[in-house]
Amino acid sequence: MDTPNSRQRLRPICRCLLWTLGIPIGAFFAYTTSFYVLELVNELRFPHNSLYNTKLGAESKVIGPLISDTQTFDIAVTVWATRPSENKIPVPRYRRIQNEYPLFSNIVFRGLQLHQKHASTIVKFRLPTSSFRNAALTESSLRASFVLMPTTPSSIDHIKGFTSWMPDSVFAKRPPSRAWPFPLGSQNSARRSLADEALDSFSISVPLLEFHDSASRCPAGSNGEHGPSVANHPHVVTRTQLRIIRETGFFNAAAYNAVRNEIRLHSCGQGIPVIG
């Protein structure tokens, strides 16, 4: 018979069972959740952890960094402009690169090391106003390219060959990184070396034009609206930040090359005329 007294005696037993079963189950779920959260955090913090070399011995092949903690390096900057054109139809990227010419190309940082921070400099160059008369002006009509150059002695001095992570069809379409002869205006008649080609393959390029709507200083027309010339007004980027990832660990050659070849195989941009 189910009496009030019997129900009261069952309540502590139910609570005891609930605590006995609930605590281990909750602990299990908490442990499992924390495990996956930590794995996700480590994956975000160290995305290439699986590529690091963990084998010891002469038989393990590794890939080391071009820039170590003790290696000094320079940074070269080149500013490119596109020659003005009366064509109002947007010009394909490969045509714009053919019309590019350097305004500045030289080393702007010397003897840097990875531990140094907040290095700054001023790059002075002349920008012809005719560049803004281009009817098909884009962000990349004025751009800057940056090349990191390790100082001698360096492992790049003994280079035998190199391949980019980009497919050959894409790599061949990249825009130039430095004026040649380098520095711009120098009397250097030497041809680009294999080391120059390799260093330029690591370069990055950023646009130096931004377009923003600007209020016209001229009085409005009869319809009360400003002309189209005030829309998407070009502005020159006058301050740029560079950040270098301090990646000085050694990678396992087999794992690294497997990922690299996978990227080369499936790299985007293979159908684009020029990558920039």
- Render pLDDT for 124-172 as a digit per residue (tens, 0 to 9): 999 988 878 777 788 888 999 999 999 999 999 999 998 888 888 888 8
Domain assignment of residue 2, yes or no: no
**Pairs from 159-162 (Cβ < 8 Å, separation ≥ 24):** 159/194, 159/195, 159/198, 161/194, 162/194, 162/197, 162/198, 162/201
Domain assignment of residue 125, yes or no: yes
**pLDDT exceeds 70 at position 7:** no
> Taking a C-beta distance cutoff of 8 angstroms, is the pair 167, 270 a contact?
yes
Domain assignment of residue 246, yes or no: yes
> Taking a C-beta distance cutoff of 8 angstroms, is the pair 203, 146 a contact?
yes
Handedness of CA 131, 132, 138, 139 (dihedral sign): positive
Calpha distance 239→248 (Å, rounded) = 28
Q: How confident is the model at residue 276 (pLDDT cuts 50, 70, 90)?
A: very low
Calpha distance 40→19 (Å, rounded) = 31
Q: Give the CB-side neighbour count of residue 83, counting CA atoms within 13 A.
A: 6
Q: Give the CB-side neighbour count of residue 214, counting CA atoms within 13 A.
A: 12
User: Residue 201's pLDDT is what?
Assistant: 92
Element (H, E) at 178: none
Domain assignment of residue 220, yes or no: no
pTM of the model: 0.74
**pLDDT exceeds 70 at position 5:** no
**Residue 112: strand, helix, or coil:** strand
Q: What percent of the chain has pLDDT over 90?
A: 35
185 φ, ψ to 5°? 90, -5
DSSP annotation of 192 = P
The 10s digit of each residue's pLDDT in 132-145 is: 877 778 888 899 99
Domain assignment of residue 272, yes or no: no
Distances (CA, A) of 57 to 8, 64, 131, 252: 70, 15, 58, 12
Q: Which residue has the tokens 């045509």?
A: 95
> Taking a C-beta distance cutoff of 8 angstroms, is the pair 255, 50 a contact?
yes
- Alpha-carbon torsion, ordered 20, 21, 24, 29, to 10 deg: -150
Domain assignment of residue 25, yes or no: no
Which residue segment(s) compose the domain that 69 sits in?
Answer: 62-213+228-266
Domain assignment of residue 222, yes or no: no
pLDDT, average across residues 222-249: 76
User: Residue 74's pLDDT is what?
Assistant: 97
**pLDDT exceeds 70 at position 270:** no
Q: How many domains does the chain have?
A: 1
Element (H, E) at 273: none
Domain assignment of residue 261, yes or no: yes
**pLDDT exceeds 50 at position 275:** no
- Alpha-carbon torsion, ordered 243, 248, 254, 258, to 10 deg: -10
